A = this chain, B = another copy of it.
């Protein structure tokens, strides 16, 4: 029995596979998710959806997510991680579509890039004020948020949401926004510095009528470490 025969006899079914990406960013108003019209160019009554698309014939799943994201939002080279695979047989009305969900984190510069050239088809929404979403995309966002929240506690994932140089207050804000709670400044600083994963650049940022803040740099940009 060769492999092809085996496939024929036990796997007559073919399905569509897509990737959908929950893109998180930090804005003035808190945690945001990037949404697009589905389908694009369908006008104002088309539902909002996650960026996403079908997986090509010889495309790695991760590449598909990256590629889709670049195509639909113009953004590449961000932190991207597989989230979960959703496969309810009735989740798509027209055909069987299984979706491999990812989530992405981008620094404020990227968030602003998208804001800077707004289109009617792609925009940021505050995560707690999103419109109704296409299919089960709200569920996917919710899962992504939970994962992000969990990872914050035992990894250095937060730095993916910050620019290369940042102040400790900015970092604390990221934690407070995602964890949804106020943190003590002194304890936070002690904890972060004890991780030994950031270093003082020696530079300062002047920013309003108050004392300038020290600028720090994450020691291993682009990499996420797991603690303990």
Contacts and interface: CB of A to CB of B under 8 A. Distances in A.
A87 B61 contact: yes
Interface string A131-175: 000000000000000000000000000000000000000000000
A120 interface: no
A4 interface: yes
Contacts of A86: 61
A105 interface: no
14 contacts: A3-B94, A4-B95, A11-B16, A11-B53, A13-B56, A17-B17, A58-B90, A58-B96, A60-B88, A61-B85, A61-B86, A62-B87, A64-B87, A82-B84
Interface residues of A, number: 40
Contacts of A11: 16, 18, 53-54
Given A85-B100, A87-B60, A94 B7 contact: yes
A143 to B, nearest CB: 11
Nearest to A18: B11
A92 to B, nearest CB: 8
A207 interface: no
Contacts of A7: 16, 94-95
A93 interface: yes
A195 interface: no
Contacts of A42: 1
A134 B127 CA distance: 42
Contacts of A84: 82
A8 B96 CA distance: 13
A29 interface: no
A57 interface: yes
A200 B56 CA distance: 56
